[in-house]
Amino acid sequence: MKNILEMILYKLLVKYCESYEDIENIKQNGLP
């Protein structure tokens, strides 16, 4: 059970980090 929860949290963290990088790229490069 604990492993499943950790896997879900990890996937959410990865998604959040990817979204954050996208936001930073838009800030630096401007909107496409």
- Which tokens sit at 17? 């980090």
Is pLDDT above 90 for 32? no
Q: What is the residue extent of each domain of the chain?
A: 1-32
- Report the percent of the chain where pLDDT is more than 90: 41
Give the three-state DSSP class for 19: helix
Q: What is the pLDDT of residue 17?
A: 82
pTM of the model: 0.55
Q: What is the dihedral of CA 8, 11, 17, 22, to 10 degrees?
A: -130
Is the pLDDT reported for residue 12 higher than 90? yes
Integer Cα distance of 24 and 4 in angstroms: 30
